[in-house]
Amino acid sequence: MSSGNDELVRSDNPDHPANLIPSLCAKFWTLGWVTGTGGGASIRDGDLVYLAPSGVQKELMKPSDLYSDGPIRPASRVYLRSPPVFKPSQCTPLFLSAFTRKGARCCIHTHSPYAVLVTLILEQQGKGKDKEFRINNIEQIKGFARGYPHGEVGNLGYHDTLRIPIIENTAHEEDLTEFLEDAMDRYPDAYAVLVRRHGVYVWGNSVEQAKGQCESLDYLFHLAVEMQKLGIPWMSEIEPTLPTRSLKD
Amino acid sequence: MSSGNDELVRSDNPDHPANLIPSLCAKFWTLGWVTGTGGGASIRDGDLVYLAPSGVQKELMKPSDLYSDGPIRPASRVYLRSPPVFKPSQCTPLFLSAFTRKGARCCIHTHSPYAVLVTLILEQQGKGKDKEFRINNIEQIKGFARGYPHGEVGNLGYHDTLRIPIIENTAHEEDLTEFLEDAMDRYPDAYAVLVRRHGVYVWGNSVEQAKGQCESLDYLFHLAVEMQKLGIPWMSEIEPTLPTRSLKD
Amino acid sequence: MSSGNDELVRSDNPDHPANLIPSLCAKFWTLGWVTGTGGGASIRDGDLVYLAPSGVQKELMKPSDLYSDGPIRPASRVYLRSPPVFKPSQCTPLFLSAFTRKGARCCIHTHSPYAVLVTLILEQQGKGKDKEFRINNIEQIKGFARGYPHGEVGNLGYHDTLRIPIIENTAHEEDLTEFLEDAMDRYPDAYAVLVRRHGVYVWGNSVEQAKGQCESLDYLFHLAVEMQKLGIPWMSEIEPTLPTRSLKD
Amino acid sequence: MSSGNDELVRSDNPDHPANLIPSLCAKFWTLGWVTGTGGGASIRDGDLVYLAPSGVQKELMKPSDLYSDGPIRPASRVYLRSPPVFKPSQCTPLFLSAFTRKGARCCIHTHSPYAVLVTLILEQQGKGKDKEFRINNIEQIKGFARGYPHGEVGNLGYHDTLRIPIIENTAHEEDLTEFLEDAMDRYPDAYAVLVRRHGVYVWGNSVEQAKGQCESLDYLFHLAVEMQKLGIPWMSEIEPTLPTRSLKD
């Protein structure tokens, strides 16, 4: 059972999680990431977690539609604050994994068609054996933190290879949790996991980082799909271009 | 002849059908679904039906542009409330079929280019014999109710096959009615019917359900067109991935 | 020289041509039709003509940026009303042709990429000899008036073939005028002319009709480009589907 | 160290650089040019330069997020005005090159996927040797100034060939500076430089010109990618169409 605690989702600050989740989701809807009530987003603020509910029209979500809970713990049937209408999202345990295992502050789940197409292309090519999306030598790769969550080591470089693990989809979204956590363990630097024929989970040390990485990733997925149509490989061997002055030095 | 009854389309409530139809259609226009005055939408509120007129610019529609009628009956030339300028939409008898045969509360008709392309691809492949769009193993399939309108049995699962019947287009839109009704009979669980070289009709037990299913369907049509370009089949045989813990249980 | 006459472009009525042209062009900018100051629009109100200037950012245009002139006559260097900054558009004589030869009330010129691609596909296929875009058996064709400007004969039917003449581009836009007028003579029912590697001119008996036909045409060009990628021909032979009841009758 | 000087970025005039850069970047975000904090923009106002910072969400930028400096000089660690949160953009020395070498008033940097795809297509075709994007006989080419910055000689014509040099990407964006300047020297009429696998830099004599040329260029890149998919070459030999009346004259 949920108590009231409606004050948890009431704030005049547009950067409060209860206001940010609706404004982010409305933006994601226009990008085609959370169409048909798919996808979702969650923000952690200290020990408190804010979650979009299941089945909400993402471009019309209101702060009062949100769940809030804390201190962080495995998803239960009891929340500090529940909306009057909706049910909890099946994404909840996956968002919590990002918070507890990776120390993330924000986790975004999209059904981006480009994410799904990338997993389909790899499945088609690799007979289902290819469990990783790889791309290098594209400037936008710099949009990703290296060795998350240790932000101090900076972002990936242009010549680095971005690797995103792919897990197979399950009949029930919550059953993805252990596979997601396994991928997190195998890719300790991961900030995203693709789900075959489903979409992508992306997280970050802050809302800005999670959103920025989600945008950069979708840009790269879009590019990868177009490269595939044009017969251009995703991985390339390019020698670093040395600036003349470093030759002089 | 129509009486005045303008109060039927006047309300301060943004969720009143007379306000919802214009706001939905404006949104659909930005998605490219109702361009060039094509497509339309209708909402049933108890015995009353609200209908977008023919030939209106969908992103500029006003509540006063709507027709309203009731109690529900076969489309006639007389409406409880008619707009001063427009004519009734030829979609009217098709919307009524969704209300009377399926108990729908909302029916949406789009000319989505992806819907049209899916019917063209199947026509091309099947020499016109393929009367059904089929896709499985894509997460967004879960956006559809199973066994509509018996909402209590839940939504389709990831491994289920989504089937949307296709009917051939007719010279006059109202002549589609009997083919639409025939498809409804042959697909008792249907919540949507594709019209070859024309578009799609989607309905639901509520405005939210009709809109959500329409969005999910367009997402899948878009994905299907891209899959076709990439040589990836729409149907696949994928073994359910069992979570480790179910093996333990 | 231009006199002041600024009152010609000042009105509180959003449907006044001086307000409609900016709002239409802002909308067209979001559709990618008038990017980089390309394209334009003109409205005739009785004997008065309102014209977007050359080189204006279409999404930022203001009523005070417009030219106005009348009574209708061949484009001259003197306007009843000129904006303080801009130069007249090279499209001006083409807009006037639509007004004087076809009795149009509104003429829209876009650089839509789909329009350009359709002319490129036909050039590629026909070695430059194919001077006409043809498509049939697509519902959106009904968005076009038949036998313009004799609106009373209604719109094209689903089984009709939509034919849009194509003229070759010229180095100077105003030199297109005689070719446009020649196409108007050869296609007396025309409401649009494609310009190879350039874009399209679309007109109508009213602003609503010109805009609606422009949207429907762009929808069909988009569809045609996708059909070409998928190997689906634009013209098809489809037997009308007879409704059962007409067989009974 | 930066002094305060916050008045440099405070103005009620929407055309003030401190207000224009945020409104431009928000617009560019909706076009997919500056996703994931990528890309940027800078405006010069006399001796003063205004710069978007590194790592800002481009659709949410505020005037107070901007750097300002002057008189123009090589990028230093000291700015007349610095924002409280962000770091200087690595694009800064490249923007300054456009201002000092070309006399530009505005320089825009995008990660447009179409720009990146064009450089990938040419790399694929030319084994990395093709250092120039070329296209002719498309009307939108007229959107570019000829012989920049000598605006008085007018814009490119329809039959002219638009040439945009391509430089190879470097690991660090600031190391692009000398290659950018070298391309500027080799293409004295250039108003844009493509960066392989990265994006494009576009400048102009005014904000309007830089933005217009950036839009026209993206339109042409989009068209070029679609032409490639359809097997249509970017360069063509087309004889100018002479208007009949010039034959008579």
The DSSP annotation for B113-168 comes to HHHHHHHHHHHHHHTT---EEEEES-GGGGGSBSSTT-GGG-BPPTTSEEEEEEE-
Closest residue in chain C to residue D155, using alpha carbons only? C55
Give chain B's mean pLDDT.
91
Query: Which of B37, B173, B175 is the closest to C143 by Cβ?
Result: B37
Q: How many residues does chain D have?
A: 249
Q: What is the mean pLDDT of chain A?
A: 91
Calculate how close chain D gets to C232, using CA atoms only, in Å.
13
What is the β-pairing status of strands B132-136 and C106-110? unpaired
- List the single residue in C143, C158, C213 with the smallest CB-CB distance to B169: C158
Domain boundaries, chain D: 1-89, 112-236
- Nearest neighbour of C169 by CB, restricted to D158, D215, D231: D158
C155: left (phi over 0), alpha (psi -120 to 50) or beta: beta
* pLDDT score recorded for residue A248: 36
Q: Give Cα D68 to chain centroid, integer Å.
A: 19
What dotted CATH number matches C1-89? 3.40.225.10
pLDDT digit string, tens, across residues D115-162: 999 999 999 998 656 799 999 999 999 999 987 555 557 899 999 999
Preferred mutation among D106, D144, D215 to probe C, highest tally of C CBs within 10 A:
D215
D54 touches chain A (CB under 8 A): no
What is the reported pLDDT for D246?
41
- C-to-D residue pairs, Cβ atoms closer than 8 angstroms: 86
Give yes or no for residue A240 having a pLDDT over 80: no
Rounded to whole angstroms, the Cα distance separating D98 from D47 reads 14
**Cα–Cα distance between B86 and D214 in angstroms, integer?**
42
User: Which pLDDT does position A70 carry in this prediction?
Assistant: 86
Any idea of the CA torsion for C138, C143, C149, C152, to the nearest 10 degrees? 100
Instruction: State the alpha helices, DSSP H only, in chain B.
Output: 17-30, 92-102, 113-126, 177-186, 207-230, 244-248
Instruction: Say which CATH superfamily domain A113-236 falls into.
Output: Class II aldolase/adducin N-terminal domain (3.40.225.10)
Q: Phi/psi at D225 (nearest 5 deg)?
A: -65, -45
Dist CA A100 CA A70 (whole Å) = 12
The model's pLDDT over A66-77, given as tens digits with 9 standing for 90+, comes to 999 988 877 677
Q: Average of pLDDT values for D211-237?
A: 97
Note the Cα A174 to chain centre separation in Å: 16
Length of chain B: 249
pLDDT of residue C4: 82
How far from A226 is each of A124, C86, C227, CA to CA, in Å? 16, 40, 18
Q: Does D38 touch chain A (CB under 8 A)?
A: yes
Residues of B in contact with C138 (CB under 8 A): 116, 197-198
Q: Is the pLDDT of residue B151 over 60?
A: no
Q: Which CATH superfamily is domain D112-236 in?
A: Class II aldolase/adducin N-terminal domain (3.40.225.10)
Tell me the torsion sign for CA atoms D140, D146, D149, D153. Answer: negative
3-state DSSP assignment of residue C158 = coil
**pLDDT, position C242:** 58
Active site residue C139: yes
C37/D230 CB distance under 8 A: no
C100-110: average pLDDT: 96
Helix (H) or strand (E) holding C211: helix C207-229
Mean pLDDT score of chain D = 91
Q: Is D245 an 8 Å CB contact of chain C?
A: yes
Q: Does the distance separating the beta carbons of B197 and C138 come in below 8 Å?
A: yes
D198 annotated as a binding-site residue: yes
Across the interface, whether the CB atoms of D36 and A159 are under 8 A apart is answered no
pLDDT value of position B241:
63
Distance of CA D60 to the CA centre of its chain: 21
Query: D8 CB near a chain C CB, below 8 Å?
Result: no
Name chain D contacts of A218, Cβ cutoff 8 Å.
35
* Model confidence at C249: pLDDT above 70: no
- Per-residue pLDDT tens for B236-247? 988 776 554 443
Q: What is the pLDDT of residue D116?
A: 98
What does the pLDDT look like over A124-139, one tens digit per residue?
998 656 799 999 999 9
- For range B205-209, the mean pLDDT: 95
Per-residue pLDDT band at D1 (split at 50, 70, 90):
very low
Percent of all residues in chain B with a pLDDT value above 70, rounded to a whole number: 91
Quick one: pLDDT band at residue C126, thresholds 50, 70, 90? confident
C88 three-class SS:
coil
**Domain B92-236 in the same topology as domain B1-89:** yes
Distance, C-alpha A228 to centroid of its chain = 23
C228: nearest CB among D215, D222, D230? D230
pLDDT of residue C70: 86
pLDDT for B33-49, tens place per residue?
999 999 999 999 999 99
- pLDDT (0 to 100) of residue A3: 54
CB contact under 8 A, D158 and C179: no
CB contact under 8 A, A113 and B226: yes
Q: What pLDDT sits at residue D248?
A: 36
Q: How far apart are CA B132 and CA D13, in angstroms?
A: 58
Q: What is the ipTM of this complex?
A: 0.93
Q: How confident is the model at residue B6 (pLDDT cuts 50, 70, 90)?
A: very high
Instruction: Check whether D244 has a pLDDT greater than 60.
Output: no
CATH label, B92-236, candidates 1.10.3080.10, 3.40.50.10880, 3.40.225.10, 3.30.1360.10? 3.40.225.10
Q: Which of residues B199 and D245 earns the better pLDDT score?
A: B199
Q: Give the pLDDT of residue B71.
A: 82
Q: D151 and chain C: CB distance < 8 Å anywhere?
A: no
